Structure formats: C-alpha cells, structure tokens
Amino acid sequence: MNADVMRIVLLGALGVVAYLLVLAWNEDYGGPPERTVDEAVRDPLVQSTPTVPMDVPSAGTLPEASNFTPGGDLPSVVALEEDVRRSQSSGELIRVSTDVLNVWVDTRGGDIVKVNLPAFPVSLDTPDIPMVLLDRSLSHVYIAQSGLVGPRGPDLPGDRPNYSVARSEYTLVDSEDELVVPLTYRSADGIEVIKRFRFRRGDYLVDLDFDVRNASNEPWNGNLFAQIKRDDRDPPGEESITLGPRPYLGGAVTTQSSRYEKLDFEDLDEEPFREEVEGGWVALLQHYFLSAWIGSADETNTYYGRSHADGTYLVGFTSPGRTLTPGSTTTFTTAFYVGPKDQHRLEEIAPNLNLTVDYGFLWWLAVPLFDLMAFLQSYVVNWGVSIILLTLIVKLVLYPLSAASYRSMANMRRVAPQLKRVQERYSDDREKLMREMQALYKKEKINPLGGCLPIVLQMPVFISLYWVLYESVELRQAVFIPGWIDDLAVKDPVFVLPLLMGASMFGQQLLSPPVPDPMQQRMMRMMPIFFTALFLFFPAGLVLYWLTNNVLSVAQQWFITRRIERAGRPSRS
C-alpha cells in the first residue's frame, strides 16, 4: 500500500462526514411564504375565528366498549370522517397564563388552539413578544384536540360539545404552584363531563382528566381520543434559505418494536400509520420544540397518523373503551407536553420521549457530551465558551489517536522527496514502483495507513458533537460575543467564523504530505472552499466547534511535524 491509498481513505472519510452533514438538510427548500411577526403573534381573541375541520375519530362505527379487545382488529376506533365538515367555532376562547405558558382553549370541544412561550421570545430584538408554538389562524393550523367518542358522543365529526366555564381568563398567581381549569358539559341524554386541565409552575406538561358521570338510564360507552392536527408549513420565524441545515418537521411515536419512529408527512401521504402500544406517546416535532400527547401507562392505546384531504396531518391515539352503567362514574387521563426539547424533563415524563431530541444513531455518545457541555456552561455562563472548552476536552481525550495520525503524516511528509524520486524513476513499471515504495516504507519504519484508523475512530465523536450542537435548544438565542454573535443557533451574520474555518482547513493542508497526483491535488484544494460554502449558513455554534477543532488540530499537527522534521529520523507511527 502507498500514500495514494492513504489519501483516498482520508478523502473518503471527509466525504462521509460531508454526507452525514448534508443529510441534515431539507431536500426541498421551497415552501410557502414566511409569515410576518405581526401575523405570527396575533392575539386569537378576535371575533373572526377561522373555520377549522373538526376531525375526531368516527363515533358511528365504534364497537361496544364491553366488547373492546386491545389486540383486536378495530380500524373503526381510529377511522376519521372522510366527508369533512368545516365548522365555525361557536364557542369562546379562554386564556390560561402561567409563568412559562400562555394557552388559549376553545370552549367548543375544549381544544387547545394556541400556545405561546414567554420564556422563548420570537427574537432577541423583540424580547417581549413570545414565540408562538401552537396556532389557529387563517394561514396556519396547529392545534391539540381531545375528547370522548362513542355511540353517544359527546365528540362527533363536525359536532363538538360546547363546554361551559366559570370565567374567560385563568392566571397562575405567585402564591400557587398549580392552576386547575375545569370545563363542564351535560348532554341532553344525561351524560355529565368535566374536562379538567392542570397546569403547574415552571412546567410545560399539562395534565388532562375527563370525569364522566352517567346520569341517564342507559349504559354509556366511549373512548378517550387525543390528537395533534397540523399543516406542513414551516414554523413561523424559521428562515427559508437555499443553503444550511434544515430540521425535521413531522410526527414521531414510540412503538413496541421501535423506541423512536418518525411519522414523516410524506410517508403519511402514502400510507396511514396505526399500532397498539402499552402506554406510549405521539408527538409533532420541529427545531428545538415539540408537542406530544402521552397515553396512560397502564392501558394499551391505539396510535395513529394520517394525512387529510385539506392538506393537514393528524397524529394521536385512542384509549381502550369503557362502559358506564347508569349512575356510575369513570375518569380518563392523559397529558399534553408543549414546549422546548428539554431532554431531561422529557425523560421523566415518559419512556423514550427524550429521544425526540434527535441525536441520531449515536445518541448514546451524544447524551454524555451534552451533559458535559451543560456542566461547563454552568460555570462559565457562556455557551460559546463551553463549546470551546468541550472541544478542547475532547481533543485531549483523543490525543493519543490524533498524535498517532499526525506522526504518520509527518513521517510521510519527511520522506516525500524520496518518494517522489522513486515514483519518477519507476513511473513506467507499476510492479517495480510498488516494491520500491514498500522497501522505502520499511526502511523508514513508516506505515502509510497509520493516519487513517485514528481519524476513522474519531469520526463518531465529531458526528455526535455535531448533532448535540444542532439539536440543543439551550443554544437558541444564546449569546457568545455581544454585538457579533448574539445567537449561536443562527448563522454568523458577517460570516467570519466560516471564513476562519476555511482558512484553518487550508492550514491543515499545508502541514499534510504533498499529493503527487494532479487530480487528488485539485480535490484537496477544493475541500476548504467546499466546506466554507457548506458552513456559511450553518448555526454559529456548529461553526465555532469546527473552527476550534481545526485550530487545535493545526497546532497539534504543527508541533508533531516540526519535532519529527527537526529530529531528521523516523518516528514510529
């Protein structure tokens, strides 16, 4: 084997890294026009509430609850009405305010039709305007629906119950840690329902109970359903650019066979999803934030996902059916999370829900790296500095591997003149050339592939760090250097970091062994340009990591190369 083989392997490794980065991009950068901030934060308490399809599981074909079998074939439980009726909301919107959530609930159906997050402003320039996560407007639908379906309702397609409330606004006061918002309904045939939302201070998880009392003279049977309805529009405020990483937007669910399974919108267009899971959860994800319904852990729930003719998507679940004899009561329970991807809080809520912070197949390596970065930030109080320190620690841990690689490269650089003479002398005799090169490597005690394995072994760490920096909501609007990089989650506004990163890659090439093959020379010269263009629109936190890693690598490579060249003798690689 010769130096050409090593260079091909190294180029292949760089290509793999580039490919894995490109996988984070959205294949289609086109999309609907971006909404303005004024439209995104419009108060829904206006009189012109838009029409929204009320897509609840069909009740007309539900089985009798007494005959419900969790493992049975009951497609009617999750069958959705095909003839969608668009119903003007006849209810009122009640506002619920806590220290971390502003929520609007429509009394018609008791659906959550808007949520904004006071702790996460739309931008640093508008700190008093909270980010809107859920919204129901003329141009965007993203709501959380829940109710009770069965032969006697009360939730039917296009015919939702009108709940009554004591007041139109609820606020969590400083002296309380919990806020309860009850909605009540009584049907004409004697079914009484109390739909009770429970909010807690500092928490994005909302508990939801349905207390059902059968005050009629006939048995009642029904199921709880909870679902998220959304169109495929980009979240408000996300840049629609032609280059740069694009986060995943779509559904996700945990199943018996897969701890975390994506329900991509395009996949739902082709085939609906349905599976029965003990406990479980279903979520809709976007960059840094999610909403999720969590099923009762002691029940086998039927999860589903599908597209709708109006261009929206539904993901949700139905609980097992129950029967109430006259005069009896029961309580259905679920919970709804709506907020940031806080992996530690999500892990507490439900098994595998923390995997919605998608670190890819190397999550087992990425999680401890994030914990280390968060630990560093707790001391330096600057996420940019913690990224630099984390990169330094990783380089120190991997120093033996890196040193072996750089020693091999330095030795190859040292014997490059001799190698070139051999190649010129035997350019017409391939077999003789290979023997002479092998003899030279043996004489100088050089392994031409000695620099490949260490680089390959380091790739999982680099890829894991990439996903940690890309997925961590903690970097959103995190300031590194005031006046320059005020948000590590967006691109460098003046592109200084990408240009410095490209320069650092060029410096690495100067320290690497010369490439005799003209084609390989051109490829190597293009790599800094390619990566610079690739990183121009990447979040500043990611570029800062790559720049720091490159600078440390250049310093380490320069030190080892200079030491070996001064010694003028081979070094074991």
Segment 88-107 mean pLDDT: 88
- The pLDDT assigned to 465 comes to 82
The pLDDT > 90 percentage for the chain reads: 50
Over residues 301-312, the pLDDT tens digits come to 999 999 988 889
For 240-254, give the DSSP string. Answer: --SSS-----EEEE-
Rounded Cα distance, 524 and 512, in Å: 10
The pLDDT > 70 percentage for the chain reads: 74
Helices 452-471 and 383-397: crossing angle in degrees, nearest 10, is: 160
Rounded Cα distance, 395 and 421, in Å: 36
**For residue 309, what are the contacts with CB-CB under 8 A and spacing of at least 6?**
82, 84
Asked if 223 and 77 count as a contact pair (C-beta separation under 8 A), the reply is: yes
Return residue ranges of the chain for CATH 2.70.98.90.
Answer: 51-66+78-234+248-358
Asked if 57 and 9 count as a contact pair (C-beta separation under 8 A), the reply is: no
CA-to-CA separations, 283 to 125, 149, 155, 293, in angstroms, rounded = 30, 21, 22, 6
The answer, yes or no, to whether residue 148 has pLDDT greater than 90, is: yes
Comparing CA positions, the residue from 501, 545, 490 lying closest to residue 244 is 490
pLDDT level of residue 169 (50, 70, 90 thresholds): very high
Over residues 500-550, the pLDDT tens digits come to 999 988 887 776 655 555 666 677 778 888 888 888 888 899 899 989 988
CATH topology for 51-66+78-234+248-358 is: Beta-galactosidase; Chain A, domain 5 (2.70.98)
Over residues 218-233, the pLDDT tens digits come to 999 999 999 999 999 9
